[in-house]
Structure 1
């Protein structure tokens, strides 16, 4: 059977360094080398995933998978925001992503926000599989383009499921079929998930983090505990994409330290 994934990456460790053990991709995705930006900690790697078209269109169907094994630690990032184009009455674009992290491994997966153009419809389905004390930090973000009005807004659906050791633990769905908060000036929304069965949040550090975003900078944030001891979610709403990116980057930079496995590494 032909593998129809546009992206299929797997990482392991070799001599204390995180390395590829599988790197497959096809149009529209492309992947470069694995960077080790911190020479004092070669265990952390970073990969930039690029999309040749920098856009999604009605009826596009993109499948991808990222796996981290054997104590690997990797940051998989997108380059450039992804525009989602639309046509009235057209079928949605669909993205399906599988993320797997083995015991003692850490995966940070942070694609760039999806920018919704007029009449754009998009569905994102993400499944995360955790094993042992693995940790996954996942970002899920969408920005409504300034030209979109309440009349030309399409729809956005995001579904995240999380399992640990094969047992379902989290089912999180976000859906909008009309302009969210049209009178508030908020046009950018994100969730940062910290997925780990062994989370350290000493002295309410997560609450202190989200309290920095109280609207004065154009962003609001709130945190919640995920069911079944699977971690935390930080919800963010902002006035625009640039504000959202800065807020999400700050949250990601700190929440991954709450995972005991990531901190110990």
Structure 2
């Protein structure tokens, strides 16, 4: 039986790489994102080998998520894997100088959006039973705070704890839940965070050999294809060239 994966934020970065990786393995795809033209282009490319449903969707719109999931028809209503990838960081200022609207947008997307999609799809994933998977894309920012991380770090800490608690609730269903927490990874992430500052993007990744979207896609595929009796609870990935710094001390 051909399996189906539901991927949020599939128009670029990790989500797009996951769509290509799972298509390569013969899975049908439900790909979502806010950019319809890009979604349609991706669907056209990948539909040569698998069945693809391109679903323009803002995960922050609760009713739209509910309606979209309720309208799924075969084979796209049989979800064997959910990859909650949609998320973003906005701004790098210290908390006292941040834009409150940006804080709310991060919370709406990274917390509300992820939990809304999960809630809507849980019955369908549970129906598939043992071996089905929910993979939530967290971040090392959920484990390690840094200046300017403020609300973004908080939202990714939520993803980690939500994943672990969800795993407790799903015990006995056979559904696996994993939180995948990447470190320095090259995608549109920094461009979005800095309002399109290409120089900031280039400076961050220069000479660092960062994680690539394909690395995350390979990892998601590995998590989804493990033997049914195995669950990776949390997995943190860093580029070899990324590590930790000493504690900061402010001196008078």
When the two structures are superposed, what TM-score results if normalisation uses the length of structure 2?
0.32
Q: Which has the higher contact order (CA 8 A, sep 6+)?
A: 2
| Larger strand proportion of the pair | 1
When the two structures are superposed, what TM-score results if normalisation uses the length of structure 1?
0.31
| Larger helix proportion of the pair | 2
